[in-house]
Amino acid sequence: MHEGRIILAQLLDHFPKHEFEKCVERYAGNRHGRGFSCFDQFLSMVFAQLTGRESLRDIETCLRAMGTKLYHAGFRGRVSRSTLADANETHDWRIYGDLAQVLIAKARRLYAADDFGVELQATAYALDSTTIDLCLALFPWAKFRKAKGAVKLHTLLDLRGCIPSVIIVTNGKVHDVNILDELGFEPGAFYIMDRGYVDFARLRGIGQAGAFFVTRAKKNLDSKRLYSRPVDKTTGLRCDQSVVLCGVHTGRDYPEQLRRVRFLDEETGKRFTFLTNNFAIDALTVAELYHRRWQVELFFKWIKQHLHIKAFFGTSRNAVMTQVWIAISVYVLVAIVKKRLSLEQSLYTILQILSLALFEKTPILQALSQQDCRIPEEPPSAQLNLLDL
């Protein structure tokens, strides 16, 4: 029940504090806290993410301006630029990585029944990565190119609710296809990837785990048609075939049959060739599944535009990883609140409201619900109209 609490405190009602404390204990996070705990650090960084702060000094100035409201939000340590910088350097980033996984698990359960635009009972994931450019002189650990640094966010996105189920952060030199070695594949699930993940030995491993993949074929694919199934060309389909790979290496890496589906997008005129190891679903469903892969691209665009992950408050690997994982935690926490409160607003709208109202004493549901804002009409003026003479 709302009792005049600020919105930030009400937002944290949906935060798993007990699980967070377990994460802190796991890595002895408060061992060198100096009066500024991991939770104080987390709250400070959440405030920075939600309100778009640009620097540690900016965070310090704005939070101190809140005065006694900080205590009611959960702060117990004194917020200062130096203590926050020390926390970003010393508090193990894995605390926030584990926390993000706890939140992700909760969010996925909430969105498990959501429709993602394809008639499919199985779980579908989109796999891709995005690169965050860094200055190599300031971030020498983030190797990418000779004179350029970067980190990559490799993301496996659950298409039901667009919740990231797995996020792996690496330096920019790690090739996307190597991430397939880090994933545990869910039997019966679909993994949708672009051509950068085409490695037939690794794709065969997906099938051996009982899962399915949908990807685009490379132009130089050497294959032989074994069988063609009829297709309705009015839907954009051009062929649905069973093929085997004929290349010396590819044929050895993937000796089983593959399904090849060709599709023409009449709006753009582009032709696509898809490969999958699933022979049961409709050919048009294969094309629709690949089309939904763009959800992961939209996810990357969204977090880069609305969360603070392109400029960092520290230059060490620990500080960067901490900021990235807290940003992901904020995204997932807001998604949880949206679902639990049955809000129709987009995540963007919710974040915009939170950015202005974090320390307001308003019921969170009232603040985040769409209001019909009308400007009251002014009463007619008693002043004489000089034109009516």
Alpha-carbon span 252 to 294, nearest angstrom? 31
Q: How far is CA 152 from CA 142, 179, 374, in A?
A: 9, 11, 45
Token output for 273: 């060739």
Alpha-carbon span 297 to 155, nearest angstrom? 10
Alpha-carbon span 317 to 328, nearest angstrom? 17
- Averages of pLDDT over runs of 10 residues in the chain (389 residues) are 76 93 90 80 92 88 86 84 90 94 92 85 93 87 86 92 89 92 94 94 95 93 92 92 92 94 90 95 94 91 84 89 92 93 89 88 85 47 46
pTM of the model: 0.84
Alpha-carbon span 369 to 351, nearest angstrom? 12
The pLDDT value recorded for residue 373 is 43
The pLDDT value recorded for residue 138 is 85
| Closest to 290 measured CA to CA, from 205, 202, 196, 216 | 216
Question: Is the distance from CB of 132 to CB of 311 less than 8 angstroms?
Answer: no
| Closest to 208 measured CA to CA, from 194, 192, 187 | 187
| Closest to 309 measured CA to CA, from 98, 101, 45 | 45
The pLDDT value recorded for residue 242 is 95
| Chain CA centroid to CA 42, Å | 18
| Closest to 49 measured CA to CA, from 5, 17, 96, 91 | 96
Q: Where are the domains of the chain?
A: 7-96+314-368, 194-292
The pLDDT value recorded for residue 33 is 58
